[in-house]
Amino acid sequence: RKEVEQDPGPFNVPEGATVAFNCTYSNSASQSFFWYRQDCRKEPKLLMSVYSSGNEDGRFTAQLNRASQYISLLIRDSKLSDSATYLCVVNKGYSTLTFGKGTMLLVSP
């Protein structure tokens, strides 16, 4: 299994739809999990950290399933501005993070 694996997409959804991405990770000792957003030809920006109990930030909900070693991101009421690549990030040990290749989301009018 790759260290961090994501479906590359693209996920094509209409405005207002709900969409979910999963990300699996191989290191069962991983303790930190994040979702980053990256727009085309720009730097990644932190969307949200993922906590064990799950957490929500507005239209975005992140969940962690340690038993199955995956994290998920749910986006409700999709906006055109949500179109981007979403990167799953997992720590692989002290101080270093491993990035997935990203899942592309395209929201259409």
Between the CA of residue 52 and those of 63, 65, 71, 88, 109, what are the distances in Å? 7, 8, 10, 15, 35
- Which residues, numbered 26-65, are part of the site for another protein (CB under 8 A)? 31-34, 41-46, 49-51
Residue 76 in the binding site for another protein (CB under 8 A): no
Residues 14-33 that bind another protein (CB under 8 A): 31-33
* 80 lies in the site for another protein, by CB under 8 A: no
Tokens 């975005």 locate to 60
CA–CA gap between residue 16 and residue 80 (Å, rounded):
9
66 forms part of the interface with another protein (CB under 8 A): no
Quote the CA–CA distance of 11 and 21 in Å, as a whole number.
Answer: 9
Query: Site residues (CB under 8 A) for another protein?
Result: 4, 8, 31-34, 41-46, 49-51, 87, 89, 91, 93-102
